[in-house]
Amino acid sequence: DGGITQSPKYLFRKEGQNVTLSCEQNLNHDAMYWYRQDPGQGLRLIYYSQIVNDFQKGDIAEGYSVSREKKESFPLTVTSAQKNPTAFYLCASSRDRGHNQPQHFGDGTRLSIL
Amino acid sequence: DQQVKQNSPSLSVQEGRISILNCDYTNSMFDYFLWYKKYPAEGPTFLISISSIKDKNEDGRFTVFLNKSAKHLSLHIVPSQPGDSAVYFCAASAQAGNNRKLIWGLGTSLAVNP
């Protein structure tokens, strides 16, 4: 079945450590997104990518980095510069970003600080 | 400043009755609106959308109504079922240069009681 796979489901990080969250899709979608969700808040956009080897900052990109070397993959690195990394991270994809169409989401990764 | 507002954090409805979830927006440039459903520890699932050129879109038990003059949309679920218990997010989309920007509400938690 086509879909988006995020791994791991739960992730723990020590202070000062970088961690990478995986996101893979087999929907043949061009656009991919990373969101962060905190309790009582809506989804906030971290980074997005419209095509391979291209990505743009979203509303809260500081302390995060991404890469888009393959169409299927859009990993997110939470760096030590992110001062409040504990959150639920969601990856999404859509056919492209220029037209009206829904985004499809993975099941998320919950990141916690040890 | 919240451009997409879901003013009711929670809603409780009896099974078989109608659930009405509301969403208000402030940006008149929004031209596409979506509703997503989210279970705990899972990613949001797309439910239904509506373009600003329409005032109603129906899909099975789900109907979305758009009142552009009031900048208001609502999601009706009839009849409500216990499996509909989830958090519902409203999102609005507008063209921003070559991209489309998607803005999310904070969500309404729906509980359907048997």
Q: Quote the percentage of chain B above a pLDDT of 90.
A: 87
Q: Are B34 and B83 in contact, with CB atoms under 8 Å apart? A: no
User: How high is the mean pLDDT of chain B?
Assistant: 94
pLDDT(A98) > 70: no
Chain B residues whose beta carbon lies within 8 Å of the beta carbon of residue A31: none
pLDDT(A57) > 70: yes
Chain B residues whose beta carbon lies within 8 Å of the beta carbon of residue A110: 41
Cβ B106–A106 below 8 Å, yes or no? no
Question: Average pLDDT for residues B22-30, to the nearest whole number?
Answer: 95
pLDDT band at residue B41 under the 50/70/90 scheme = confident
Q: Quote the percentage of chain B above a pLDDT of 70.
A: 99
* Whole-number Å distance between alpha carbons of A60 and B73: 27
* Other C-beta atoms lying within 10 Å of the C-beta of residue B50: 21
The residue among A90, A89, A93, A97 whose CA lies nearest residue B101 is A97
Q: Are A98 and B100 in contact, with CB atoms under 8 Å apart? A: yes
Cβ B46–A104 below 8 Å, yes or no? yes
Q: Which of residues 36-55 of A touch B (CB under 8 A)?
A: 40-45, 50
Question: Average pLDDT for residues A26-40, to the nearest whole number?
Answer: 92
Chain A residues whose beta carbon lies within 8 Å of the beta carbon of residue B99: 50, 56, 97-98
What pLDDT is attached to residue A31? 92
Question: Average pLDDT for residues B80-106, to the nearest whole number?
Answer: 90
DSSP for A13-33 reads E-TT--EEEEEEE-S--SEEE
Question: Average pLDDT for residues A25-35, to the nearest whole number?
Answer: 94
Cβ A107–B43 below 8 Å, yes or no? yes
The more confidently predicted of residues A98 and B97 is: B97
Q: Are B93 and B32 in contact, with CB atoms under 8 Å apart? A: yes
Question: For residue A13, which amino acid is it?
Answer: R
What pLDDT is attached to residue A3? 92
* Whole-number Å distance between alpha carbons of B110 and A20: 33
A92 touches chain B (CB under 8 A): yes
User: Lowest-pLDDT range, A47-61, A90-104, B11-25, B66-80?
Assistant: A90-104
